[in-house]
């Protein structure tokens, strides 16, 4: 991996330097399939870059990391370029000072790969309406994470008002395995669900979303209950025919699926790292209608 620093630079200089580095290494950028823009602060950039780089092994990308620094300093753009022979793409850390902190889109636009999708990810604080954000407007896919908010339940509940096709949230992505297992449990007829409960540690955004999705799909009231965690721990669905369908997780790896009249089954339900969540979202760049429906149902239930 080659690292190259540019101080008080411009986007055109960054672009030409990337091309020069790639040609020096004999690795042109034609293999990259998208631009991933990561908007974060200095404290969160290390973990964010690591997750984005790991995700790029499946989706070779130009990763532009936008780090807003002191807005009171004179206008300046510093860049750190990372290109490697075995790297699946390029990583550019952009540190913005002064008025540039309010106009990141002007720095990013010339660095976007042509004729490829643009995805923006906010690992930490995110705009209330991502599609109205200046950087968000550049993207066809916008990824937020309600779990990064001080009140994650309030954050995910508020997503519905500003939802635009292409929006998604990692609080939803974390539910993929839960949703798959629960959907598979209904492959065999278990009858109508009367009510249910999703149990999780207090203030868990994913639990609220899962309850909303289940209620929307099953046409039954699904509550959210508190547990000692960590994270999501159980889904308990009361069946009209009697008995319960339950999916319970006591650790971060395995869960137990129980259905009336059948033996309990141990299933894999591991907590996934952020890199896997981002990689999943990069696999599908079309609007997620099921997520949108769950958001609408959640918003309607809170009015």
- pLDDT, one tens digit for every residue, the chain (303 residues): 677 899 999 999 999 998 888 777 665 555 788 999 999 999 999 999 999 999 988 888 899 999 999 999 999 999 999 887 555 678 999 999 999 999 999 999 999 998 899 999 999 999 999 999 999 999 999 999 999 999 999 999 999 888 999 999 999 999 999 999 999 998 877 889 999 999 999 999 999 999 999 999 999 999 999 998 889 999 999 999 889 999 999 887 899 999 988 899 999 999 999 999 999 999 988 889 999 999 999 988 754
Q: Collapsing DSSP states into helix, strand and coil, what is residue 178? A: helix
Report if residue 302 sits inside a domain. no
| 84 touches 24 (CB < 8 A) | no
| Residue 224, pLDDT score | 96
Report if residue 154 sits inside a domain. no
* Domains identified in the chain, total number: 2
Residues 139, 6 within the same domain: yes
Residues 128, 231 within the same domain: no
Report if residue 149 sits inside a domain. no
| Residue 59, pLDDT score | 84
| 233 touches 250 (CB < 8 A) | yes
Residues 188, 95 within the same domain: no
Residues 97, 16 within the same domain: yes
Residues 176, 103 within the same domain: no
Residues 116, 75 within the same domain: yes
Report if residue 117 sits inside a domain. yes
Measured between alpha carbons, how far is 7 from 9 in angstroms, rounded to an integer? 5
Residues 117, 20 within the same domain: yes
Report if residue 42 sits inside a domain. yes
Measured between alpha carbons, how far is 281 from 90 in angstroms, rounded to an integer? 19
Residues 214, 138 within the same domain: no
Report if residue 245 sits inside a domain. yes
pTM above 0.75, yes or no: yes
| Residue 303, pLDDT score | 45
Residues 49, 124 within the same domain: yes
Tokens 């699926």: give the residue.
Answer: 257
| 136 touches 51 (CB < 8 A) | no
**CATH code of the domain covering residue 130:** 3.40.50
Measured between alpha carbons, how far is 197 from 154 in angstroms, rounded to an integer? 19
| Residue 302, pLDDT score | 57
Residues 139, 264 within the same domain: no
Q: Domain residues for 53? A: 2-144
Residues 133, 214 within the same domain: no
The residue among 125, 144, 163 that closes a domain is: 144
Range 264-269 contact pairs with CB under 8 angstroms and sequence separation of 24 or more: 267/181, 268/177, 269/177, 269/178, 269/181
Residues 118, 200 within the same domain: no
Measured between alpha carbons, how far is 301 from 299 in angstroms, rounded to an integer? 5
| Residue 279, pLDDT score | 95
Report if residue 277 sits inside a domain. no
Report if residue 160 sits inside a domain. no
């Amino acid at each position: 991996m080659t690292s190259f620093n540019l101080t008080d630079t411009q986007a055109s200089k960054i672009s030409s330097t990337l091309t020069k580095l790639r040609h020096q290494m004999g690795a042109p950028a034609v293999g990259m399939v998208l631009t991933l823009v990561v908007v974060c602060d200095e404290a969160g950039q290390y973990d964010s870059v690591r997750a984005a780089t790991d995700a790029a092994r499946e989706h070779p990308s130009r990763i532009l990391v936008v780090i807003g620094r002191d807005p009171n300093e004179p206008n300046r753009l510093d860049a750190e370029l990372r290109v490697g022979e075995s790297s699946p793409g390029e990583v550019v850390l952009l540190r913005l000072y002064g008025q540039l902190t309010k106009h990141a889109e002007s720095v990013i636009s010339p660095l976007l790969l042509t004729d490829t999708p643009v995805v923006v990810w906010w690992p930490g604080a995110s705009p209330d309406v991502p599609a109205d954000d200046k950087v968000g407007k550049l993207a066809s896919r916008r990824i937020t994470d309600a779990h990064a908010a001080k009140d994650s339940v309030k954050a995910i509940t508020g997503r519905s008002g500003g939802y635009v096709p292409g929006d998604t949230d990692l609080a939803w992505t974390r539910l993929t395995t839960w949703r798959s297992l629960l959907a598979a449990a209904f492959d065999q007829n278990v009858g109508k669900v009367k009510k249910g409960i999703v149990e999780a540690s207090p203030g868990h955004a994913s639990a609220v979303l899962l309850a909303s999705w289940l209620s929307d799909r099953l046409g039954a009231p699904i509550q959210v209950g508190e547990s000692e965690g960590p994270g999501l721990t159980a889904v308990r669905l009361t069946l009209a025919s009697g008995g319960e369908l339950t999916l319970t997780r006591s650790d971060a790896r395995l869960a137990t699926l129980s259905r009336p009249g059948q033996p309990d089954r141990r299933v894999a339900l591991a907590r996934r790292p952020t890199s896997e969540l981002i990689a999943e979202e990069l696999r599908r760049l079309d609007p997620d209608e099921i997520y949108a429906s769950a958001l609408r149902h959640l918003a309607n239930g809170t009015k």
